[in-house]
Amino acid sequence: MNIATRSLLSFAACLGWVATARAQVLFDPTLGTAPAAQGWTSVLAGATQTVSPAGVRLSTLAANAVQAGYFWNATPFDRAKGFTVSVDLQLLTETHARADRAGLSWILLSSDRKGVELAFHPDRVFAQSTTFTRSEESLVDTAVARRWDLAFLGDTYRLSSGGTTWLTGSLRDYSAFGPPYSTPNLLFIGDDTTSARADFVMGRVAVSAPEPGSAALLLCAVLLSPAFRRRHSG
C-alpha cells in the first residue's frame, strides 16, 4: 500500500471516529432491559410490554382508551445546529377510529418546543398539523422493520429511511395544547390517543449531531500531517 493510499484511509478513519463520537444511543435493545432501565419514563397502564433482543414490544390492543409509551427528556435537541434521531420501528398491528389518529405516534420537540408529531398507519406515515389533522403524508409499508431517521435543521424536518425521504415539512408549535407538547427537548414513542390502538416493536434509538464540520476536518488534517507525525514519532 503506497503512502497516498494509506494517508487517505487514515483520514477516512479519523472522520469516522469523529462522527461516531458525536452519536448517543438512547435505547440499546442488546442490553436486554426495558426503556425504564435505560433512562426513559414509561407509561404502561393497560398496555403489555415485552422485552427481547429485537427491542421492546408494546401493545395497546386491549382498548382504544389505553394510552402508553416511552418518554425521553434528557438530551438537548438544538434545531439551530441540527440533529437526527434514529429509531428502529416495526408496526405489527394498528387500528384507528379516526383517519387522523394513529395507535403509534412519534413526537419530537426541540429545545424551544418546536417539532413534529408523526403518525403511523399500516400503509402510511403522516405528520400532524397544529390542529391534529393529517398534513404531509406518504404511502409506505410500516409493517416492515425499518430504521427511521428524523432530522431537524432550522425550521424544517425530514423523515427518511434506507436513503429514501418520506416526509419533509416545517416544524410546528403544539405547545398551546399543554403537556407533553409544552415540554422542551421531548422524545415520545407510543400510543397517545384514545381513538386508536397498536402493537409495535421499538428497537435501537440514537441521536446524532451533524456531520463533522470544518473544525473536525482541520483536526484530522493536522493529526495526520507528515509534520505532526514526525514531531510525535519515536
14-31 pLDDT tens trace: 444 344 447 899 999 999
- At 211 the pLDDT is 58
- At 209 the pLDDT is 85
Q: What is the pLDDT of residues 132-171, one digit of tens each?
A: 999 999 999 999 999 999 999 999 999 999 999 999 999 9
> Is residue 46 exposed (0-12), middle (13-18) or buried (19+ Cβ within 10 Å)?
middle
Positions in the chain short of pLDDT 70:
1-21, 211-234
Cell of 68: 402508553
Name residue 34's amino acid: A
> Is residue 2 exposed (0-12), middle (13-18) or buried (19+ Cβ within 10 Å)?
exposed
User: Helix or strand or coil: residue 150?
Assistant: strand
Nearest to 65 by CA among 116, 101, 106, 108: 101
**Is the whole-model pTM more than 0.85?**
no
| CATH class (in words) of the domain with range 21-212 | mainly beta
Q: Are 108 and 152 in contact, with CB atoms under 8 Å apart?
A: yes
Residue 197 CB neighbours (<10 A): 26
Measured distance CA(39)–CA(71) in Å, rounded: 9
Residue 119 pairs in a beta bridge with 105, 126
